[in-house]
Structure 1
Amino acid sequence: MSKKKVTTYIIMADGKGTRWNHYQGIEKHLIEIDGETIIERTIRLVSQFDPNAEIIVTSHDPSYTFAGSTRYEPLNNQLEIDRFTVELIDTGVCFLYGDTYYTERAIRKIVKKHNDSLLFFGTAKKIVAIKVTDEKQMRKHCQHVRQLYLDKKIEKCIGWQLYQSFEQLPFEKRQIKGHFVLFEDETIDFNTPKDYKKFLRIH
């Protein structure tokens, strides 16, 4: 199989954000760090390390239209696994999370590293990016995880279950096998106001 350089970055920002609960009257993707929202930071860093990048932000909110990117409204967003917008899955895309704060080092690694199938980036707790060099594999495992969840055979259907399906790992516990770039202190998740307050104390 010939390799195709990833040039399309899809920033997923169409979640419900129930745990964030509209804290301080904003959505978590619009948290500002040093005067810049975290989603705009991601757009800027991707463009910095991949000047030829096409950047798409998936959201039904018209206010999620940012310079340097195109907003796209997903056709289906019922389950968490649907955030990997099926109609946008293609060979040569990279999925990123709109509610994740990425360091420059993290984005540089995501842009530069490649393989010939699927490549996952994350911590021991969360997947923060997936690069797709084989769209058939991505579609296959998204559908597999979705069906397992609908059949009540797994409790969640997020990035980790996608990785477990791809690597044929048990769903009962999280473990890393291959096709995975492990981050330590290179990303921060803002799922709850507590996460944000903790970040402000140490930033």
Structure 2
Amino acid sequence: MQKTKFFICCAGAGERWGNYLGIDKQHIAFGGETLLERTIRLLGAYTDSLPALVDELGRFNANGARQLLIPPTNCIAQTLYHTRSQWGERNIFLLGDVFYSYKAMGQIVNGERNLCFYGRPHESLFSLGKYGEIFAFTFTQENFSLVEKHLGRVIEEQQKGGRGKLWELHRSLSGQSLSQHVINLSCFELVEDETDDFDSPKEYERNRRRYEVLTNPAGMRSSLFLLFIKICRRSFRLRRLLTHYYHALLRGKPRRARTIRVPIQKYNSARLRPAK
């Protein structure tokens, strides 16, 4: 069995969050537990090794985790690049500002692919987020040079005015233009539940009540919120099922040979096309 190293990325200025509520967004709390504490707790069900809190300023310190200080970074690609000396047989990179569901954490930790991104290519019915998100990235030792090479490409583009995000890394590894929103399902697994990140005060205030109820079992038993969550999940499954059969039956293309192409300015109209 491969030895896995876990990294929780907490670097970055968090400009959109802007120190709202006087805290870093990783310290947003639901049910008396911060996002960072929740991620560490969920990981604890799968491993005894301490995850590394990756940060350039040493702002974060939590029980059940260790600090990993890196040089100042301007983007997530640089953050990953600066952890190269710590990579192990299998590496899982999580994000400190994400609320992970139990299901999503199990999906990520138990994944068997040698290189994979976990996220959603479209809007979220649960959190009402308008855009796709990547929540985790994993790769094994055999892909070190490949990941390092494409991180370098993404960082180079970021220094020329690009974004340097995980989406750009996914596109680069898929052999696509960094500006074309393409989901290559050969190295992408869908996470379609309440898992989501919090980048801005607006996102937090819009979803605060939802996640407070979600993390309060007593409240869920006495409300219709649990039903709402089930409807959301079934809607996601129905959407995937209908999209699959449209692609497989009407278009006549094999399900395994495909990518999801989402127009960069039109996220709500994800379409399936065969992979090149």
TM-score (norm 1): 0.89
Aligned amino acid, residue 165 of structure 1: S
Post-superposition Cα deviations, 1:31-81, rounded to whole Å, max 9, x if no partner, equal: 011000101100110111x12333100124445111111011113423332
- Secondary structure of 1:54 counterpart: coil
Task: Give the Cα–Cα distance (whole angstroms) in 2 for the partners of residues 201 and 173 of structure 1.
Answer: 35
Aligned amino acid, residue 164 of structure 1: R
Alignment check: 8 A CA contact 2:5 2:87 kept: no
2:10 corresponds in structure 1 to: 13
More deviation in 24-33 or 163-172?
Answer: 163-172
Alignment check: 8 A CA contact 1:102 1:186 kept: yes
Task: Give the Cα–Cα distance (whole angstroms) in 2 for the partners of residues 122 and 5 of structure 1.
Answer: 23
Aligned amino acid, residue 71 of structure 1: Q
2:135 corresponds in structure 1 to: 128
Alignment check: 8 A CA contact 1:89 1:138 kept: no
Alignment check: 8 A CA contact 1:105 1:186 kept: no
Aligned amino acid, residue 93 of structure 1: N
Where structure 1 has 5 or more consecutive residues not aligned to the other structure, the ranges are none
1:166 corresponds in structure 2 to: 173
Residue 157 (str. 1) matches residue 193 (str. 2): no
2:29 corresponds in structure 1 to: 32
2:110 corresponds in structure 1 to: 112
Task: Give the Cα–Cα distance (whole angstroms) in 2 for the partners of residues 5 and 75 of structure 1.
Answer: 29
- Secondary structure of 2:183 counterpart: coil
1:93 corresponds in structure 2 to: 91
- Secondary structure of 2:51 counterpart: strand
Residues 56 and 145 (structure 1 numbering): CA distance in 2 closer, same or farther, change over 3 Å? same
Task: Give the Cα–Cα distance (whole angstroms) in 1 for the partners of residues 36 and 101 of structure 2.
Answer: 12
1:47 corresponds in structure 2 to: 44
Residue 190 (str. 1) matches residue 228 (str. 2): no
TM-score (norm 2): 0.67
Deviation of residue 187 (structure 1)? 1.2
Which is greater in Rg? 2
The structure whose RCO (Cα within 8 Å, separation 6+) is larger is 1
Cα RMSD, aligned residues only: 1.7
Where structure 2 has 5 or more consecutive residues not aligned to the other structure, the ranges are 122-131, 212-276
Q: How many residues align?
A: 196
- Secondary structure of 1:194 counterpart: helix
Task: Give the Cα–Cα distance (whole angstroms) in 1 for the partners of residues 40 and 209 of structure 2.
Answer: 25
